[in-house]
Structure 1
Amino acid sequence: MTARERLIVGLDVPTLREAETIVDKLSDDILFYKIGYQLAFAGGLEFARDLAASGKKIFLDMKLLDIDNTVASGVENIAKMGMSMLTLHAYPKAMRAAVEAAKGSGLCLLGVTVLTSMDEGDLIEAGYEYDPHTLVLRRAEQARAAGMGGIVCSAEEARAVRKVIGPDMALVTPGIRPAGADRGDQKRVMTPADALKAGSSHLVVARPIVKAQDPKEAARAILAEMAEVL
């Protein structure tokens, strides 16, 4: 895959107007976009469908988790929308139900291991007995066993996760920050070049591009950094 196929720009903005402006500014430089809760609940689901119909690839970041039947029903409809990737929390039963529902659709299902905004203290507070690294690897093993298409994890865990899931599954890493960029609320971050070297297959970049004074220039700089590694 080329850098353009691996870079996913997160449309983490509150309105469709802002999202449309960003997509227009980035034009043909960017192929892949992520749409999450914020934009989804502001008309972003129809926007996602339209972008997919226009030839863009869409990573729908919904982090699904519910009873098996509800997860399966949601996955079936999302597959019909033409989405390329979809996240769900990496709980074994939910993953198995999703995989069965997505069969034959081409939708890549991604298991969310541990959010990049969480550290060991956050996991302890939430009642988990594992540290982030151990929990990420455990969920990666379960995702591979369930037949998932890939994993979402911090780039800090990418090298270890790649050893668990093998060479074929997608490994999508958010929390990507070019050198010198503000970390924001992310606690585990890495540069684009280092993330690719660690085994990431796709990089999710939002604020460093969408909040940049010149989003197109920012995106091109990241693509160039990725291309050097690839």
Structure 2
Amino acid sequence: MVVALDVATLDEARELAAALAGEVGWLKVGLELFTAYGPDAVRAVADHAPVFLDLKLHDIPTTVERAAARVADLGVGLLTVHASGGPVMVEAAVRGLGDGGEVLAVTVLTSMRDEDLAATGQPAAATQVPALARLAVEAGAPGLVCAPPDLVAVREAVGPSIRLVTPGVRPAGASADDQARVATPSGAVADGADLLVIGRPITRADDPVAAARAIAAELAGS
């Protein structure tokens, strides 16, 4: 399980990281925290669990390679890039990050519905996601990020050895917030997810540790 530390301050991130140490497999630092605090955001939580840096890089290959190399200096285990940046960009990210971490290529965001994709001139998710997944894997990405409804098609497209990471995971009865395509933890795992990214259902719970343990118990029983 990955907990998304989408909080506003470094103190909040430290407190959550310390509380969740030993309860979850990864701690995710996203754009809000990294934009505010930069590498200090990674350092603040790295003592408590491996760090997943969710920057969704999308730029020219040289820039992405250099940025990924700086991320490698931080000892980050997982780094996201957009698969839509193309195979040369994905290859550059893998080169830059090196052997110390894994590049995860993001297919289509969980917040995007087909009508949103159409508005930007893109194919529907069912068409686009498997194609982006194959592109990224052929470019060397060892892992992918995809929404719960795309898991089965992506697993069929890339095979069993690729790590599939799934955001948009919500326990039964929880609010979907700004996610359009969601699933329960047990549903996502049943469809082929290897890692679940869960944020607000844990971080905004009255007792984040109890919330994380409840989700872990659901997964253990599934």
TM-score (norm. length: structure 2):
0.95
1:213 aligns with one of 206, 211, 218 = 206
Q: Please show how residues 1-230 of structure 1 align to structure 2 within 5 Å.
A: 7-43=1-37, 45-52=39-46, 54=47, 56-90=49-83, 91-103=86-98, 105-128=99-122, 130-229=123-222
Percent identity reads: 43
Contact 1:109 1:150 in 2 (8 A): yes
**Cα distance in 2, alignment partners of residues 27 and 96 from structure 1:** 33
- Amino acid in the other structure paired with 2:24: I
For residues 40 and 101 of structure 1, the distance between their equivalents in structure 2, rounded to whole angstroms, comes to 19
SS of aligned partner of 1:135: helix
**Which digits, 9 at most, give the CA deviation of each residue in 1:172-203, with x for residues without a partner?**
00000000000101010000001001000000
Q: Is the 1:49–1:83 contact (alpha carbons within 8 Å) kept by the matching residues of 2? A: no
Equivalent position amino acid for 1:154 in 2: A
RMSD over aligned CA atoms reads 1.3
Mapped partners of 2:48, 2:210: distance in 1: 22
CA drift of 1:101 comes to 2.3
Tell me the CA shift for residue 68 of structure 1: 1.1
Deviation at 1:25, TM superposition (A): 2.4
Q: Is the CA contact (8 Å cut-off) linking 2:13 and 2:44 kept in structure 1?
A: no
Gaps of 5+ in 1: 1-6
Q: Which amino acid in 2 is paired with 1:61?
A: D
Question: Structure 1-normalised TM-score?
Answer: 0.92
* Separation in structure 2 between the aligned mates of residue 28 and residue 113 of structure 1, nearest angstrom: 30
CA contact (8 A) 1:16 1:44 kept: no
Structure-2 separation of matches of 1:116 and 1:15: 25
How many Å apart are 1:49 and its aligned residue?
2.7
- Could you tell me how far 1:44 is from its partner in structure 2? 5.1
Q: Find runs of 4+ consecutive structure 1 residues off by over 6 angstroms.
A: none
Q: How many residue pairs end up in the alignment?
A: 220
Q: 1:154 to 1:35 in 2, by over 3 A?
A: same
In 2, are the aligned partners of 1:150 and 1:169 still within 8 Å (CA)? yes
List per-residue Cα deviations over 1:126-172 (Å, max 9, x = no partner): 121x1011111110010111010111010111111011111111100
Q: Secondary structure at the match of 1:137?
A: helix
AA matched with 2:172: A
Q: Tell me the amino acid that sits aligned with residue 39 of structure 1.
A: L
Structure 1 letter corresponding to 2:18: D
SS at match of 1:204: strand
Query: SS at the partner of 2:8?
Result: coil
